[in-house]
Structure 1
Amino acid sequence: MTPEDQEETQPLLRPPGGSAPRGRRVFLAAFAAALGPLSFGFVLGYSSPAIPSLRRAAPPAPHLDEDAASWFGAIVTLGAAAGGVLGGWLVDHAGRKLSLLLCAVPFVAGFAVIIAAQNLWMLLGGRLLTGLACGIASLVAPVYISEIAYPEVRGLLGSCVQLMVVTGILLAYLAGWVLEWGWLALLGCVPPCFMLLVMCFMPETPRFLLSQHKRQEAMAAMQFLWGSAQGWEEPPVEAEHQGFHVAQLRRPGVYKPFLIGISLMAFQQLSGVNAVMFYAETIFEEAKFKDSSLASVIVGLIQVLFTATAALIMDRAGRRLLLTLSGVVMVFSTSAFGTYFKLTEGGPNNSSHVALLGLVSMEPTDTNVGLAWLAVGSMCLFIAGFAVGWGPIPWLLMSEIFPLHVKGVATGVCVLTNWFMAFLVTKEFSSLMEILRPYGAFWLASAFCIFGVLFTLACVPETKGKTLEQITDYFEGRRQPLPVSGAPLAAPAFSLGGHGAYL
């Protein structure tokens, strides 16, 4: 099929004349799908309170030493990487809605195994299962939401995916103050069960239904989500449902989004976010907080606040501006973090107050406490900057930029990249700190943040206010998308492989 033929058969799910639909059930459907990311966030946050709880638990509860605790936290990323691959297959073959329903099973099964755990292997097996569910949910939920949302609210609803993730993390931190590991795992079963219940009443996405030649079901879904299917453009769908083939990577509409999606996921993890989060409690201890565990809750509150801010302004500020602003803030904060470690590093005749990896000793002084507040400020600034842009936007763009017929494979590769990089950075950051020293490791993260900003300015298109079909047309270079709200066309924002267009 030629690009011209595909243009004529592309589903155009937009109201005539560019008027916005008035349906509000789309928000209910987006909330139902976002319960998957809420469960995903709870899984990520679970290890922080569960590890200390398991260490003080009496037999027959499994005991965690340092190495086992490290694997208890990190093995989720391996399960999620596998979930990304499985989710990519499910989203194309089972559909968006059924994939979300199915991911509730490993969520509940994983927590059930943890509750019943009699040894370390059962604990790790349960975490692996919940990680598998995280990988599926992190892929399917953004795709589902982007395909049911109309352009005016797609940024808002898409950003709610990351908002629900950080809310789930915060929920785990707060519940961990009052619940032991077993009861906390039981609480973790509630969000996926609620998602299973609510999603049963939600429709499949109209775009997926049209790709499966289910015209009546697609019209019914539009009626449910947008209030009316009357007057909507209904072009013919493709004669055959296209799957992904390697040869399609030669097409600009496929390889450009692939490069952007994979690069954004890699830069997100190389920014140093996991390292900053890992040392949060240590930094708060150095600042003389009476309860260092309060650090987790403070970090969680900052994430929720600024992710919510990003969601509210996403469709006005745009993706590129927030990514750039976020990256610049992260450059300065990671540089300040590195400076803090440089100033507190012990010399031959000088002991320091930072106990990290055995590289430096711990003798706090009033001056050192003051420097620790530099680290607290840098950490909070970094988390706020990350939450505004590089936290939610790579996931949002992943769900927007890929054509329908390659979306499953392409988003699967992006999710696999993200979780693999998360595992690699988490496990190898300690080794990197031994080689480069702590300050060098954070300055390296600052350099990656700079590269991320430059990549955004050079390669990432603005997608706010555009339909998914207009975004696909842009990458293919077939026709010039319409301006947003009657505004004049912007200057070219993207060029790869000689194909440029206005967006």
Structure 2
Amino acid sequence: MSSDESRPLLGEIQPQPDERSLQSENYLSQVQNQGLYLATFASVLGPLSFGFVLGYSSPAIPSLKQSSRPELRLDDSQASWFGSVVTLGAAAGGILGGFLVERTGRKLTLMLCAVPFVFGFTVILSAQNAWMLYLGRVLTGVASGITSLVVPIYISEIAHSGVRGMLGSCVQLMVVIGILGAYTAGLVLEWRWLAVLCSIPPCLLLGSMAFMPETPRFLLLRQKREHEAVAALRFLRGPLVEHQRECLELQAHAGEQEALSLAEFKNPSIYKPFCIGVSMMFFQQVSGINAIMFYAETIFEEAKFKSSGAASVIVGSIQVFFTAVAALLIDKTGRKVLLVLSGLIMAASAAIFGMYFKMTPPIPNNSSQVLFLNSQLSLAVTEGHSLAWLAVLSLGLFIAGE
């Protein structure tokens, strides 16, 4: 192909929208996704490890509260720190991940984050006092923060438009599968053996990512390694497509990667999506879902459920099911529709949940608000309150909407 024929790809005379759409369809029709799915599976072992970190404290705290060793026996305050200190590590990990991902690359950063995962759980299982437990949680939190930043970038840069939404949804799906895995394993494993189990996914992450390619975008735009980028695309797209064509398109859009200045935030096309994205993440975090995930078994114990562990598994199962449904629908219904539907379900279920407890008599309790509400729910269920099903349904809907 001559240079004149390839010039439209570089942008002086761009194809018309219909022509670009036809070119994209022809390109995607020749793509073979086996390598892409393999690389995605290897990368989402990171979110799976993250899920095990989030879910670990729920079954571990009741065991630690009843430990035969006084130096490891946690009181309520220490148990609260054990569950929540992981978020401090995650905050630090997010900052560290932002530094590493642009300098060492997406692939190497993912491999490196396996180290604090494994080391953190090793510190926990060899702990001699509460401070070692805290340290282990902080280290796994650092790894979780790095993972939550790097994996979505890696997947978005290796995936093509036809499956990018579905593969991106796998990140959250693997997180909730990890949470469910920790809850389920906690039914039969003591906290030390559970820590051993939780260290297996990051080991698999380290081994499998060693055989996966770096993202073509990083190789082209950061490292200027065109031959390696073409080889990565051959692995990710199969041998039938024009790999050079996609490389040219990535180079043509290199200008989009320029850093933003503060002055540019005056532009509505910049600050509006920025504010929307930050607001969505903020309100998702303050909805209270993480508190339920960290302390699920403790909450159900305080609520006097007969089997708090089984109740936690049910909560995790609901999350996994509806996250999988969202992953299958996201490319068909669009992101906005699912976000609006999720918000409406959460708002309605929270309102119904509050109305139910407004109608039930208060019960004196010195526990936190979440434990207090769950205690009332348990009492209503055991005493056969006529509207008890409403509280159970609203709680299930809230988790489904989240």
TM-score range, shorter chain: 0.7 to 0.9
Q: How many Å separate the matches in 2 of 1:95 and 1:246? A: 26
Q: How many Å separate the matches in 1 of 2:132 and 2:200? A: 21
Q: Aligned-pair RMSD on alpha carbons?
A: 3.1
Of 57, 75, 83, the residue aligned with 2:67 is 57
Tell whether the 8 Å contact from 1:286 to 1:354 is kept in structure 2 after alignment.
no
Tell whether the 8 Å contact from 1:96 to 1:143 is kept in structure 2 after alignment.
yes
Task: Provide, for residues 158-208 of structure 1, a one-character-per-residue CA deviation record: whole Å limited to 9, x for no partner.
Answer: 101001000000110011111111111111110000000000000011111
Tell whether the 8 Å contact from 1:32 to 1:195 is kept in structure 2 after alignment.
yes
- How far did 1:240 drift? 12
Aligned to 1:217: 228
Of 27, 46, 57, the residue aligned with 1:47 is 57
Of 89, 94, 97, the residue aligned with 1:79 is 89
Aligned to 2:323: 307
Aligned residues: 373
Q: How many Å separate the matches in 1 of 2:295 and 2:385? A: 16
1:18 counterpart = 2:29: no
Aligned to 1:393: none
Of 105, 109, 117, the residue aligned with 2:127 is 117
Tell whether the 8 Å contact from 1:38 to 1:165 is kept in structure 2 after alignment.
yes
Aligned to 1:194: 204
- How far did 1:15 drift? 9.5
Q: How many Å separate the matches in 1 of 2:271 and 2:40? A: 29
Task: Provide, for residues 330-375 of structure 1, a one-character-per-residue CA deviation record: whole Å limited to 9, x for no partner.
Answer: 11100011112211243xxxx5799755979979466564444322
Matches within 5 A, 1:376-455: 376-386=392-402
Of 219, 232, 237, the residue aligned with 1:226 is 237
Aligned to 2:188: 178
Aligned to 2:7: none
Tell whether the 8 Å contact from 1:281 to 1:293 is kept in structure 2 after alignment.
yes
* % same residue: 57
Matches within 5 A, 1:231-310: 232-233=245-246, 234-235=248-249, 236=251, 238=254, 242-243=258-259, 245-250=261-266, 254-274=270-290, 289-310=305-326
Q: How many Å separate the matches in 2 of 1:14 and 1:78? A: 45
1:165 counterpart = 2:175: yes
Tell whether the 8 Å contact from 1:103 to 1:137 is kept in structure 2 after alignment.
yes
Tell whether the 8 Å contact from 1:344 to 1:353 is kept in structure 2 after alignment.
no
1:204 counterpart = 2:214: yes
Of 345, 348, 354, the residue aligned with 1:332 is 348
Of 103, 116, 126, the residue aligned with 2:136 is 126
Matched residue type, 1:121: W
- How far did 1:256 drift? 3.9
Unmatched runs of 5 consecutive residues or more in structure 1: 1-6, 387-503
Task: Provide, for residues 256-299 of structure 1, a one-character-per-residue CA deviation record: whole Å limited to 9, x for no partner.
Answer: 44223211101212334245557866886799753232110000
Q: How many Å separate the matches in 2 of 1:52 and 1:326? A: 32
More helix by share: 2
Q: How many Å separate the matches in 1 of 2:307 and 2:331? A: 39
Q: How many Å separate the matches in 2 of 1:283 and 1:125? A: 24
Task: Provide, for residues 413-432 of structure 1, a one-character-per-residue CA deviation record: whole Å limited to 9, x for no partner.
Answer: xxxxxxxxxxxxxxxxxxxx
Tell whether the 8 Å contact from 1:29 to 1:199 is kept in structure 2 after alignment.
yes
Of 157, 162, 185, the residue aligned with 1:147 is 157
Task: Provide, for residues 50-97 of structure 1, a one-character-per-residue CA deviation record: whole Å limited to 9, x for no partner.
Answer: 111112222276121100000000101111011111111111111111
Q: How many Å separate the matches in 2 of 1:64 and 1:355? A: 16
